[in-house]
Amino acid sequence: MSDTIIHLGNKRPLNMRWLLKMAWRDSRRNRGRLALFISSIVLGIAALVAINSFSNNLRADIDKQARSLIGADLVVATSKDIEPDMQKLLDSLAVGGDRSDEVRFASMVYFQASQGTRLVQVRALEKGGFPYYGAIETEPKSASSAFREEGRKALVDHTLLLQYNTKPGDSIKVGNLTFEIAGALHKIPGQSAMTATIAPAVYIPRHYLEETGLLQRGSRISYYHYYKLPQTTDADELANKLEPRFDEAGFGFDTVNSRKEDTGKAYDDLARFLALVGFVALLLGCVGVASAVHVYIREKLATIGVLRCLGVSGAQAFLIYLFQVMAMGLIGSIVGAILGSLIQLYLPELFKTFLPVEVTVAVSWSAILEGIAIGLVVAVLFALLPLLSIRNVSPLITLRAGIEHLTNQKDKVRWLVYLLILSFIFVFAYFQLDTWLRALAFTGGVIVGFLVLALLARAMMWFVKRFFPVNWGYVWRQSLANLYRPNNQTLLLTVSIGLGTALISTLFLMQRLLLSEVAIAGSENQPNMVLFDIQSSQKDEIKRVTKEAGLPVLQYVPVVTVRVEEINGLTAADVRKDTTLGIPDWAFTREYRVTYRDSLIDSEKEVDGTWTGTVKNPDKLIPVSLEDRYAERIKVKLGDTVLFNVQGALLPASVAHLREIEWNRVQTNFLVLFPEGVLEEAPQFHVLMTRTDSTAQSANFQRELVQRFPNVSAIDLDLILQTLDDILSKISFVIRFMALFSITTGLLVLIGSINISKFQRVQESVLLRTLGASRKQILSINAFEYLLLGALAAGTGVILSVAASWALAVFSFEVNFVPDFAPLLPVFLSITALTVFIGMLNSSGILNRPPLEILRGES
């Protein structure tokens, strides 16, 4: 032989056409299995497409119906008495156009038909053109105009009418006056169903307002001015021009565009949050995809080895399976997008409580394309982890099947894939959350969630292996060994089912926690009824009436309305000029309700400084106490000065004391506390706290109160709890609806993973049956394994949810974490039972057929 060594020619081309053909051919016998793992991403994509389609349609509808959002070109609102020069300005704006005025305040009303009383928002609307855009929807239809034009009539929110068994034509007493109910109010521009839940409205004609006797000095009253501007006037331009004057006077304003922006933003926030919940479902599905592809590739090792023997390069082998995954990802995403487009048909119904406009349903191609792209990218990214190992499959596997041919330890590309996955999650979260910090927190949360579940699963495997109960019966030992043997499902099931459980349990826990916060506050000897707007002249009389009704006077608190003029000598104008000061504008524009007393009460805790209960010489700097977080927000510390405006009289004060306040008690708490000896002569109203023992006692007392003192309002804890429960139920229903995607995805991943590992189980079960194991024994082995897996996954999820709820309670809602574990047990039990059920359902096919038939069929 000659010694000449021939060198290999140029590198062969990849031959894409053939690779695609091979991917197609190879998938033919596995499509059922491939379909299973694409199903795990379907729901995540469906959730994203549904939410984004809905969001796009909502945005378009807000644009289309923008004018009816506020019903006018410009709305100016203030909660202060209007100075003459500002009144002139407000009047001048109506020249050439039109204006309708409205006065809003909270008051008790009395339903004569049912003899019920309730705190509502009274809106006294002037006869005028409002709404200039959109319409007031009432039942009967004529009531929308009749209530302002035909005598003493009122429009009452339809929920109130239902609640108090009252109908149009009945009477309602507002203050000293009785109104005939002209109709039920269903919708009015500017108000969503949610606003109606929080503060149901009763509209009365403006010219009856004085006669109701409800306008007392010190009452919390807001004035709204609705303008229809001349066609030549640009509302935004006008508002921008007047903004400095409005700001100075503490006026708020809204134009169609600003409301559109605010509304759009508010619903964008909600949509983004829900999209993130959908994204979690998608990520969960992707874990399923990664795991399914991992098992799939393991089963394909022999084929890959043969292909390598026949001359297929590592890259070509990798591409054959990458194309399969891409195709499946694409199909899954398209199916998800179709499903999502169908689900969005239901979303307007789901969100109707929160929506200010009618939402039309239309196919959103941008949402569909975005969903398909995200699905494809995420599915491929997660599948890359197991796919990468294909490049390293040795052709030697064809000669020696028993040895390990997949090693990922030294593959640096895997780290690149991890990095890509994290970057993708981070970028997606950034687009949903708008800030890098939040996106980082979301990504961190996802990593922690996955890591904790993965670590716990690994810890359990280690624990079972390390402390294996060798003396237990065979069935139990075999089940336990299944948890850590090669190709086990412990990690996958713990992560997927655990994450789903964690989501749903957190929702339950938070809802209960928030409700219990209020309930706890109302327990024992805490007050459960608050009477407010009591004038000084009514103070003693009401105290007497309360005692006569057999109710205790637990607190009687004077309330004075003040404003802040200066902080450390800086006015609002100074602060606006120098934004580096960081003092918020609202510190000057808002009204403060303050009180005075000589000591702290049990909901207050001293943080710093010295509390001076009584001041002898009010002409000097008044030592006041501020709530610690409020002081932090307006950038003041002990010793700083604040100039208060007490309805015209300027009162210089120094910050002498800082307090921490437990806000969740049903009682009056104040940001600013004055000592006695300063505000006694200022215009003020009073708040009385009492405790009723029954609903009947509460209703009787409120009825008597409304009849004798129409200006006094009462809030009872039942009403707060009922409203809160109502709001939380509505919100949590929406969130639960979205969490359902995660839970169902978890179940699909569970079904998928059990199915894809069926072959391994079949071989084992058949072997056991061949060796003489009974049907019952195999059934018990499988049942116990799934029981352990389900219990571990659900248990871990529940533990995670407790941790997540704690974090939410402490850092986000700032409430004490006293969890109610009651709903966790049913969640734990049902998810465990479901896991066992699905596991057993899959095994039943194996148990009912002869061993040989199965082996032939599966091989």
Partner 1 sequence: MSIILDIKNLEKTYYSGHHPLTVLQGINFSLQAGDTCAIVGPSGSGKTTLLGLCAGLDRASAGSVILNGIKLDSLSEDERAQVRNQYVGFIFQNFQLIPTLTAVENVMVPLELRGERNVHRQAMDLLARVGLAERYDHYPTQLSGGEQQRVSLARAFSNKPTILFADEPTGNLDEETGQRVEKLLFDLNKEAGTTLVLVTHDLELAQKTDRIIRIKGGTVVSDQVTSSVVNNA
Binding site for partner 1 (CB under 8 A): 1, 4-8, 11-12, 15, 18, 21-22, 25-30, 302-303, 305-315, 394-396, 398-401, 859
Kindly tell me which of 20 and 113 has the beta carbon lying closer to partner 1: 20
Nearer Cβ to partner 1 (23/743): 23
Distances (CA, A) of 786 to 175, 307, 583, 827, 840: 66, 37, 58, 17, 8
Smallest gap from residue 823 Cβ to partner 1 (A): 48
Least Å distance, CB 295 to partner 1, is 16
* Min CB(414)–partner 1 separation in Å: 18
Least Å distance between CB 289 and partner 1? 20
Residue 459 Cα to chain centre, angstroms: 33
The residue (of 219 and 313) whose beta carbon lies closer to partner 1 is: 313
- Quickly tell me which residue has 């001076």 as its tokens: 612
How many CA atoms are closer than 13 Å to the CA of 782, on its beta-carbon side?
Answer: 28
Position 720: which residue type?
I
Lookup: tokens for 757: 């590992």
Q: What is the rounded distance in angstroms from the CA atom of residue 238 to the CA atom of residue 93? A: 9
Which residues are paired to 105 by β-bridges? 122, 221
Amino acid identity, position 387: L
Nearer to partner 1, 10 or 231 (CB): 10
**304 vs 452, which CB is nearer to partner 1?**
304
CB of 8 to partner 1, least distance (A): 5
SS3 774: coil
Secondary structure (H, E, C), 615-626: CCCCCCCEEEEE
Torsion angles phi and psi, residue 533, rounded to 5: 65, 25
Minimum distance of partner 1 from residue 306's CB (angstroms): 5
Three-state secondary-structure class, residue 785: helix
Q: Is the peptide bond before 140 cis (omega within 30 degrees of 0)?
A: yes
Closest distance between partner 1 and the C-beta of residue 332, in Å? Answer: 21
DSSP string, 637-680: -TT-EEEEEETTEEEEEEEEEEEEE-TTSSS---SEEEPBTSST
Question: Are the C-beta atoms of 363 and 369 separated by less than 8 Å?
Answer: no
What is the smallest separation between the CB atom of 13 and partner 1, expressed in angstroms?
Answer: 8
CB-nearer residue toward partner 1: 306 or 841: 306
Instruction: For the CB of residue 293, give the shortest distance to partner 1 in the complex, in Å.
Output: 16
- Comparison of 314 and 677: residue with beta carbon closer to partner 1: 314
Residue number, 309 or 581, with CB nearest to partner 1? 309
Nearer to partner 1, 315 or 447 (CB): 315
Place of tokens 């199903």: 39
CB nearer to partner 1: give 226 or 296: 296
For residue 462 the two structure tokens come to 């280690």
Nearest distance from C-beta of residue 434 to partner 1, angstroms:
46
Sequence-ordered list of residues with C-beta below 8 angstroms from that of 59, at least 6 positions apart, any chain? 264, 267, 268
For 540, the 3-state DSSP assignment is: helix
Exposure string of 776-804, with b = 16+ CB inside 10 Å and e = fewer, is ebbbbbbbbbbbbbbbbbbbbbbbbbbeb
Closer to partner 1 at the Cβ: 34 or 815? 34
Distance CA 484, CA 491 (A): 9
Q: Give least dist CB 395 to partner 1, A.
A: 5
Q: Token pair of 253, please?
A: 């304003």
Least separation in angstroms between residue 489's CB and partner 1 is 24
Sign of CA dihedral 151, 156, 158, 162: negative
Q: Is residue 131 reached through a cis peptide bond, with omega within 30 degrees of 0 on the bond before it?
A: yes
Nearer to partner 1, 25 or 207 (CB): 25
Work out whether strand 116-125 and strand 98-111 pair parallel, antiparallel, or are unpaired: antiparallel
